[in-house]
Amino acid sequence: MLTIVALGVGNAFSVRHYSSCFALGADGAWLLVDCPHPIRKILHESSRAAGLALDIGDLCAVALTHLHADHASGLEGLGYYAHFALGRRARLVAHPAVLAEAWEHHLAAGMRRFMAPGDGVVERKLEDFFEVTALAEDAAVSVGPFSVECRRTPHPVPTTALRVRAGGRTLAYSADTAFDERLIAWLADADLVLHETGPGIHTPYERLAALPPGLRARMRLIHYPDDFDTGRSVIEPLRQGARHEV
């Protein structure tokens, strides 16, 4: 069995929901997928709404799809909390193209210069705060009880969709993407598919609504804008604070 907790379901501009992220649970372990700020508050509120009590210390890793702020702005807080409060590094899992920019172009400005007792200001690097695991496009990577595959998506920055297998079940996540029939086919090899929808560079709802009924029944929408009419959608929207068993 694979448990999904919807921590956030909104897009980057939402005033109603947290930015899109979720936790996957299997065999007593939890994998966080994407990490917006304020991640501890997001985990606290949404997991409790789902009847759980998740915090950073419960996570075996965070799998990051890309570095846009609505998906990655909580990494600094997560890394610092793991270092100072938990006394360990957080495990960060992502495609090599995402990892290549995670430090210099995202985290270094807030984490490079570090106050060390007796040493003054010292220089730090990504590996001082994160145990880094690179995903591969041609093979699954083990992360605790989870087997994680990735595939690049059409998006302005390096971004990957994910397929995560655990407990004999598979969850697929589109991450941010334009509509892509080849990506849809890759995602469809899963028991449940989470697919984003939205305007502009994202996937139009109408393209997803035209997919075959059997696939739509195994699909949930995420990353939707505040004005999206969830009540009229032919694909069930993921609800923040909801818990699903796959």
- Tens of pLDDT, residue by residue over 120-164, are 788 999 999 999 999 999 999 999 999 999 999 999 999 999 999
101 within some domain? yes
The pairing of strands 3-8 and 243-245 is: antiparallel
Nearest residue to 59 (alpha-carbon basis) of 81, 17, 242:
81
CATH number where 7 lies: 3.60.15.10
- Is 166 within a domain? yes
State which H helix or E strand residue 81 sits in: helix 75-84
Tokens of 102: 């995670």
- What is the pTM assigned to this prediction? 0.96
pLDDT at 78: 98
Q: Report the b/e string of 211-238 with b at 16+ CB within 10 A.
A: beeebbebbbbbbbbeebeeeebebebb
Q: Is residue 149 domain-resident?
A: yes
Average pLDDT of the residues of the chain: 97
Q: Above 90 in pLDDT, residue 118?
A: no
For residue 233, the enclosing domain spans 3-239
Tokens of 129: 């705060």
Q: What is the pLDDT of residue 166?
A: 97
- 245 assigned to some structural domain: no
- Residue 165 domain-assigned? yes
pLDDT digits (tens, 9 = 90+) for 170-191: 999 999 999 999 999 999 999 9
Whether residue 115 is predicted with pLDDT greater than 80 in this model: the reply is: no
For residue 19, what is the DSSP state? B
Structural domains counted in the chain? 1
Determine the distance from the C-alpha atom of residue 44 to the mean position of all C-alpha atoms in its chain, rounded to a whole number: 16
Per the domain annotation, does 179 fall within a domain?
A: yes
For residue 244, is it within any domain?
no
User: What mean pLDDT is predicted for residues 210-217?
Assistant: 98
Q: Is residue 246 part of a domain?
A: no
Whether the predicted pLDDT of 221 surpasses 90 = yes
Q: Could you tell me the pLDDT band of residue 235, with boundaries at 50, 70 and 90?
A: very high
